[in-house]
């Protein structure tokens, strides 16, 4: 049995998740697995990751909102020591026209994965938050201790609530260590050109709109 320490990346077929998997495979000794239901990505990403790194990554094609199926992954993968949680819907505009889709997906998936951290004793958790938690702020630059502003969209609010949920969990269960990363606008692609930002849904950020037009 392979007893290598394992990092679970949620949203591993997505833009930031796939690049993170490559970094983990190339710079650490962890085994890396992914949970991605491919709602905004393609399974081809994993073939490309294998081409770049020479390593196979198992992806569980499971919806994180399905707690029963999610728990089965943890029962199967006994050596998970940390989780990097990227999976979420991320279109600000779509979240305004379809708030239920965003609250349902972004909140339930986080709640389920936090519950799995407790149930399966996983104490290291990284959350993909967003610069949108600062709202439409007038004072720049923002810093880590800049307070949240008024959320400008359900997407932004789902990230604020996500951070608050994590704070509450780490307070109640101090063995759980967590950090939230508040990205601004990540751009770029792996130097091989094999993977980059390539959403299957309509692009909303400036750079993917440019690249999709070019393609």
Ligand X SMILES: NC(=O)c1ccc[n+]([C@@H]2O[C@H](COP(=O)([O-])OP(=O)(O)OC[C@H]3O[C@@H](n4cnc5c(N)ncnc54)[C@H](O)[C@@H]3O)[C@@H](O)[C@H]2O)c1
User: By the 8 A CB rule, do 82 and 122 touch?
Assistant: yes
Distance, CA of 49 to CA of 196 (rounded, Å): 11
Question: Quick one: 63 or 94, whose CB is closer to ligand X?
Answer: 63
Interaction between residue 199 and ligand X (CB under 6 A): yes
Exactly one of 87, 116, 117, 151 binds ligand X (CB under 6 A); which one? 87
Distance, CA of 7 to CA of 202 (rounded, Å): 30
What would the DSSP string read from start to end of 83-120?
EEE--S---HHHHHH-HHHHIIIIIHHHHHHHHHHHHT
Query: Which one of 60, 155, 157, 169 is the catalytic residue?
Result: 155
Nearest-approach distance from CB 148 to ligand X, in angstroms: 15
Interaction between residue 163 and ligand X (CB under 6 A): no
CA distances from 50 to 47, 79, 215 (A): 5, 22, 23
Among positions 58-77, residues that touch ligand X (CB under 6 A) are 63-65
Nearest-approach distance from CB 3 to ligand X, in angstroms: 26
Nearest-approach distance from CB 72 to ligand X, in angstroms: 14
First to last CA, the chain: 44
Burial class (CB in 10 A: 0-12, 13-18, 19+), 114: buried
Among positions 136-155, residues that touch ligand X (CB under 6 A) are none
Helix (H, G, I), strand (E, B) or coil at 174: coil
Sheet holding 58-60, edge to edge: 58-60, 31-35, 6-10, 80-85, 124-128, 177-181
Distance, CA of 88 to CA of 130 (rounded, Å): 11
Residue range at the interface with ligand X (CB under 6 A); choices 6-14, 24-32, 72-80, 171-179: 6-14
Nearest-approach distance from CB 162 to ligand X, in angstroms: 9
Interaction between residue 105 and ligand X (CB under 6 A): yes
Interaction between residue 41 and ligand X (CB under 6 A): yes
And the tokens for 130?
A: 């967003």
Residue range at the interface with ligand X (CB under 6 A); choices 21-29, 35-43, 47-55, 141-149: 35-43
Interaction between residue 133 and ligand X (CB under 6 A): no
Active site residue 173: no
Residue range at the interface with ligand X (CB under 6 A); choices 80-88, 93-101, 141-149, 171-179: 80-88
Report, as residue numbers or ranges, the catalytic residues: 155
For ligand X, the binding residues (CB under 6 A) are 11, 13-17, 35-41, 63-65, 86-90, 105, 109, 128, 130, 183, 185-186, 199, 205
């Amino acid at each position: 049995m392979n007893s290598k320490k394992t990092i679970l990346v949620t949203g591993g077929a997505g833009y930031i998740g796939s690049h993170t998997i490559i970094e983990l495979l190339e710079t650490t000794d962890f085994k890396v697995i992914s949970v991605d239901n491919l709602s905004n990505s393609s399974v081809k990403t994993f073939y490309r990751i294998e081409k770049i790194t020479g390593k196979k990554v198992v992806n569980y094609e499971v919806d994180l909102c399905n707690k029963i199926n999610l728990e089965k992954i943890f029962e199967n993968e006994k050596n998970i020591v940390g989780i990097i949680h990227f999976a979420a819907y991320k279109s600000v505009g779509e979240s305004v026209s379809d708030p239920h889709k965003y609250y349902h997906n972004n909140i339930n998936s986080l709640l389920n994965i936090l519950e799995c951290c407790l149930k399966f004793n996983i104490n290291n958790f990284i959350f993909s938050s967003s610069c949108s938690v600062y709202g439409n702020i007038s004072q720049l630059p923002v810093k880590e201790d800049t307070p949240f502003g008024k959320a400008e969209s359900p997407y932004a609010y789902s990230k604020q609530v996500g951070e608050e949920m994590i704070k509450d969990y780490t307070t109640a269960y101090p063995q759980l260590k967590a950090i939230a990363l508040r990205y601004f606008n990540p751009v770029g692609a792996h130097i091989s050109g094999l993977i980059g930002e390539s959403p299957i849904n309509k692009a909303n950020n400036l750079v993917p709109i440019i690249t999709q037009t070019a393609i």
